Structure 1
């Protein structure tokens, strides 16, 4: 970490964007929406708070709740939970959920994506 002299340097450091992996978040959520068994690979260590994008954390949390009730987690079953969500509306509404599934990573990579999200959250 580079040290900067003066108050302005300290203030700039305080407003620095935290590390994040948006593409990993999207790939992981998409993979889970396509194959709900992928959730089992990350459920033991990944929490909604680990996601940089708040809406991704809420999507993940809703997926977990649906799976706890043994319900399917798909773009269609998630849609009612996010119909009035302004953050999801900003990125395309329920169509964004479908795009996540359409851009899904393979289930093989899910744990790696989960670890990347966790690592970025811990920084």
Structure 2
């Protein structure tokens, strides 16, 4: 992400931030290798935010991100969340991510706190 976005438009979480109590992190494994990771940050009792979606280059196009996304949607249902939110890039490098999210029911929306409108960001949400 740092290669495709300037620092002020990069909202990736580092390892310490991923350890916060309101964040749950999942990993997908294929053949003994980490194929991808994804996290859910519980914003409040009714909303969650998708964070840190990554698929290892060797596993792109194998359904890793979709499987992780569906796992997080299931967890959101279990937690009784009403909606999921996300921020992703708006450049060409993020086309696959936006396409995945759209295919799973996410729609574009306005920036949500703590984000501000940014032409390099796309904000999306969906009901759970």
Bin for the TM-score computed over the shorter chain: under 0.3
> RCO higher in 1 or 2 (8 Å CA, sep ≥ 6)?
1
The structure richer in strand per residue is 2
Report which of the two has the higher share of helix: 1
Structure number with greater Rg is 1
Query: TM-score under structure 1 normalisation?
Result: 0.26
TM-score normalised by length of structure 2? 0.26
